[in-house]
Amino acid sequence: MFDSSDVQSVFSGNIAEEWEKKSRYINSLNGNDNMMIPTIKKYITSTSKILEVGCGTGKLLSQIDALTFGIELTGVEMSSDMLQQIDTLRFKNPVRLINDSVENFIDDNKYDIIVMKQVLHHIVSREQVLKKLAGYLNPNGVIIIMTPNDGYQKSILPFNPITDLLGRIDDSMIYEYIKDLPLQVVEIQHVNSLATFNSLYEYFMFLYAIGSLQKIFNYKGEYEYALKLITVFKNLFSKEETLSVDFNYSYITLKKK
């Protein structure tokens, strides 16, 4: 099993530096793979206090910042290498950054919207984290989650709800996580897209760039051996052969009861 320190180690250094370039391995993407902003627009007001958990290099934070004036933004990110890439001077609204994991950070504030984009599947104690975040919500506040679901890469790696290699989350798991929490499901949207890669090598390197290769090995150092193997056989894996991969995501809105 892994913990937050293992995940922190993976999303630092080279991965953090190259984070915004990870899509270079994808040849084409058919469909919409990002519904975060349209979903956030349903709930944001000019006085909203918004927390992003796992804000990375600040891309989504900056997109939220551009929606309206008067909001307050907070970003929590365990990777200091990613946080260092955020230029807070470019934000028109106040933004506060916290260098910590979602499991460990402490905050005195309450929020109207809490956002988790591609984060929940990297967490072991999902129920505990959702319980913690529910405690940071204002009355009628919402948690908006984007996560790979059971259809994500299903043609390559079959989904296993108990020991899934990629940490994918289906709808029933969400209901199970919150059954004893002061949260209710408002909406679950399923968005499907299809990514194509020109070779196995580019597919493998994409998995590495987004942390999925590391997750298969529970974020432990063994993934480095797999990366070395891929590198050794680069010429073989680089032979042109189009590979189509399902990128299926769920956009989940949870509201405080």
User: What is the mean pLDDT of the segment spanning 51-73?
Assistant: 97
pLDDT of residue 50 exceeding 90: yes
Residue 14 sits at φ, ψ, to 5 deg, of: -60, -40
Domain layout of the chain by residue ranges: 4-24+32-194+247-256
Q: What number does CATH give the domain 4-24+32-194+247-256?
A: 3.40.50.150
Place of tokens 């939220």: 64
State mean pLDDT over 219-233.
91
Of 7-11, 111-115, 146-150, 207-211, the poorest mean pLDDT is in: 7-11
pLDDT of 11 reads: 85
Mean pLDDT for 130-136 is 98
How does residue 221 score in pLDDT terms, banded at 50, 70 and 90? confident
* Cα–Cα distance for residue pair 42/210, rounded to 1 Å: 28
The one-character DSSP state at 124 is: S
What is the value of pTM for the model shown? Answer: 0.93
pLDDT (average), residues 39-66: 97
pLDDT score at 1? 63
CA distances from 188 to 21, 60, 137, 250, 254 (A): 29, 20, 19, 6, 9
Report DSSP state, residue 181.
S
> What is the band of 33 on the pLDDT scale with cuts at 50, 70, 90?
low
What is the band of 7 on the pLDDT scale with cuts at 50, 70, 90? confident
